């Protein structure tokens, strides 16, 4: 490996950080330069992403590519190992892409107390953490990046958020930190029992010798770390608060990327390293997943705030992803990765639209909304499009995350109780009906009808320039992936096989 190959991933991770450092040098008043620096940084990072997309060997999605392996903390035998395979690639590129779109969207959408310098610097640090998590192939490195996202998100919610922001911010932080404290205990247990290495690839072989009961315990520790991040029922309570209070860009990133760190952790670390424990725990994970699907859907129906409704729908959608993972089949895992990307695009988009509506009407209370299609028809149509995608309409991306996950539950991996998973399948299928219910209900209240009296005379500007630039790529992708899902499945398919290798899957 030579030249750019060995630098691509490192650049992808640390370019945003360098950009953040440059931002610190730009005076606070020079807002145009600040935005330009941030945009150029994310664009350059995305360009690296495109280069990676082009040079990725699609014939070998099951192998780690662009691998760099350098010494880092020798004393604890932790190394700087980065690399991507077919599972990481879509998520990494999604992260770069969404970060760039967020900077574009921010151009004229800075929430109070304004301060673009701090806001964009945090956004860039956040991107470093997210990209790093998706490329790290060493547990300690993964842990560090996994945690790096906490601080920027804490401040983003706490400083730029809604009225109840301080509570939401600390709740988000404490929940995640609690999970990761148990997760790191699990990582260290793997280290000592699995041959004194933190390398994820090596552990897939060396950890198999760990006693079964110990494996179960370690898996439980990892589960806590990842499940809180996903978030799975009953650890989800931080999510509605965080989403509701976060500024638009914060919500988008949270929904599009941060939640995926949890599900990605299951696919990348927990299942390949501890397959036996995974089989043991899978029915319980599946149970929590379907509870999440139903609970999230019912929660949606009880919401009066549009953003909170979307937040609860996230819980339901992540339930499908987790159900796909819990089946421990090729099919289910493919669906899960697809579901992650699709949910990232669709829910990210929904939060964008919600943010823009709030910008114009200063409320998201469903009882006060109405007639968006009359006042701002383009935005109304976009909302409708995203709602359709979110409820899993065939032909749009959401369908390929949900439907195969449900199907996979019909025939779970060997060793899993078939009847139980079939029951889950039925419940999850019922969940899709609920999903149609709450999304259409939301659409009806927000977009249909006539504007309420208080907003009747108000001119509501339709989608503006930066919004078009930020949104259209997402909308196109939702459609393209919906019509031609093979685009993504062919990337993930080989890689999920590796994740399940130890199960003979």
Task: Report residue 99 CA to chain centroid gap.
Answer: 12
If the CB atoms of residues 13 and 345 are measured against other proteins, the closer one turns out to be 13
Task: Report residue 476 CA to chain centroid gap.
Answer: 19
What is the spatial distance between Cα 430 and Cα 411, in angstroms, rounded to a whole number?
18
> Residue 139 in contact with residue 80, Cβ under 8 Å?
no
If the CB atoms of residues 161 and 404 are measured against other proteins, the closer one turns out to be 161
Whole-number minimum distance, CB 155 to other proteins, in Å?
Answer: 6
Whole-number minimum distance, CB 114 to other proteins, in Å?
Answer: 11
Whole-number minimum distance, CB 21 to other proteins, in Å?
Answer: 11
If the CB atoms of residues 150 and 420 are measured against other proteins, the closer one turns out to be 150
Whole-number minimum distance, CB 306 to other proteins, in Å?
Answer: 25
HSE-CB at 195 with a 13 A cutoff on CA atoms is: 12
What is the spatial distance between Cα 479 and Cα 4, in angstroms, rounded to a whole number?
33
Question: In 76-157, at which residue ranges do the beta strands (DSSP E only) sit?
Answer: 78-84
Q: Is the dihedral of CA 211, 212, 218, 222 positive or negative?
A: positive
Residues 6+ apart with CB under 8 A from 10: 68, 82
Whole-number minimum distance, CB 305 to other proteins, in Å?
Answer: 22
Whole-number minimum distance, CB 130 to other proteins, in Å?
Answer: 14
- Structure tokens of 271? 């299942």
Whole-number minimum distance, CB 289 to other proteins, in Å?
Answer: 25
Whole-number minimum distance, CB 165 to other proteins, in Å?
Answer: 7
- Give per-residue burial for 480-499: e unless 16+ CB within 10 Å, then b: ebbeebeebbebbbbbbbbb
If the CB atoms of residues 17 and 407 are measured against other proteins, the closer one turns out to be 17
Return residues touching other proteins (CB under 8 A).
Answer: 28, 71-76, 118, 140, 143-145, 147-148, 150-151, 154-155, 158-159, 165-166, 169-170, 173-174, 177-178, 181-182, 184-185, 188-189, 191-192
What is the spatial distance between Cα 295 and Cα 336, in angstroms, rounded to a whole number?
19
If the CB atoms of residues 54 and 212 are measured against other proteins, the closer one turns out to be 212
Q: Collapsing DSSP states into helix, strand and coil, what is residue 101?
A: helix
If the CB atoms of residues 125 and 326 are measured against other proteins, the closer one turns out to be 125
Q: Collapsing DSSP states into helix, strand and coil, what is residue 78?
A: strand
If the CB atoms of residues 189 and 256 are measured against other proteins, the closer one turns out to be 189
> Residue 227 in contact with residue 288, Cβ under 8 Å?
yes
Whole-number minimum distance, CB 170 to other proteins, in Å?
Answer: 6
If the CB atoms of residues 192 and 453 are measured against other proteins, the closer one turns out to be 192
Question: In 392-498, at which residue ranges do the beta strands (DSSP E only) sit?
Answer: none
> Residue 402 in contact with residue 339, Cβ under 8 Å?
yes
If the CB atoms of residues 28 and 378 are measured against other proteins, the closer one turns out to be 28
Backbone φ and ψ of 78, nearest 5°: -105, 135
């Amino acid at each position: 490996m030579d030249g750019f190959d060995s630098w691509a991933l490192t650049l992808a991770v640390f370019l945003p950080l360098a950009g953040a450092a440059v931002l610190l040098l730009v005076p606070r008043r020079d807002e145009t330069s600040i935005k330009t620096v941030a945009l150029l940084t994310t664009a350059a990072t995305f360009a690296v992403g495109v280069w990676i997309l082009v040079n990725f060997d699609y014939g070998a999605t099951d192998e780690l590519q662009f691998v760099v392996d350098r010494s880092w903390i020798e004393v604890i035998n932790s190394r700087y190992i980065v690399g991507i395979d077919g599972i990481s690639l879509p998520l990494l590129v999604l992260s770069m892409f969404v970060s760039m779109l967020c900077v574009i969207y921010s151009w004229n959408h800075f929430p109070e107390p304004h301060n673009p310098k701090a806001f964009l610097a945090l956004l860039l640090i956040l991107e470093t953490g997210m990209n790093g998590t998706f490329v790290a192939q060493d547990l300690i490195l993964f842990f560090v990046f996994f945690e790096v996202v906490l601080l920027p998100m804490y401040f983003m919610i706490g400083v730029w958020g809604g009225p109840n922001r301080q509570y939401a911010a600390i709740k988000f932080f404490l929940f995640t930190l609690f999970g990761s404290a148990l997760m790191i205990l699990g990582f260290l247990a793997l280290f000592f029992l699995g041959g004194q290495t933190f390398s994820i690839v090596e552990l897939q072989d060396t950890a198999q010798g760990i006693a079964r009961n110990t494996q179960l315990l370690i898996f439980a520790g990892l589960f806590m770390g990842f499940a809180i991040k996903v978030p799975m029922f009953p650890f989800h309570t931080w999510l509605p608060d965080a989403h509701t209070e976060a500024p638009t860009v914060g919500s988008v990133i949270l929904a599009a990327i941060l939640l995926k760190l949890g599900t990605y952790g299951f696919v990348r670390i927990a299942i390949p390293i501890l397959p036996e424990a995974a089989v043991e725990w899978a029915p319980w994970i599946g149970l929590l997943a379907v509870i999440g699907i139903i609970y999230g859907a019912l929660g949606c129906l009880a919401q009066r705030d549009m953003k909170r409704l979307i937040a609860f729908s996230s819980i339901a959608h992540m339930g499908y992803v987790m159900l796909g993972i819990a089946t421990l089949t090729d099919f289910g895992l493919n669906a899960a990765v697809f579901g992650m990307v699709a949910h990232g695009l669709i829910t990210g988009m929904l939060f964008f639209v919600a943010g823009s509506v709030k910008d114009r009407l200063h409320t998201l209370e469903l009882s006060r909304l109405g007639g968006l299609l009359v006042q701002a028809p383009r935005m109304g149509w976009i909302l409708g499009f995203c709602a359709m995608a979110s409820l899993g309409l065939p032909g749009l991306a959401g369908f390929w995350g949900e439907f195969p996950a449900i199907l996979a539950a019909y025939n779970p991996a060997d060793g899993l109780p078939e009847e139980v998973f079939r029951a889950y399948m039925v419940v999850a299928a019922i969940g899709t009906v609920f999903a149609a219910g709450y999304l259409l209900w939301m659409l009806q209240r927000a977009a249909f009808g006539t504007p309420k009296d208080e907003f009747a005379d108000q001119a509501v500007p339709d989608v503006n320039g930066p919004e078009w630039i930020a949104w259209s790529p997402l909308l196109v992708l939702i459609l393209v992936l919906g019509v031609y899902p093979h685009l993504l499945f062919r990337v993930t398919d080989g890689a999920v096989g590796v994740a399940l290798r130890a199960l003979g899957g």
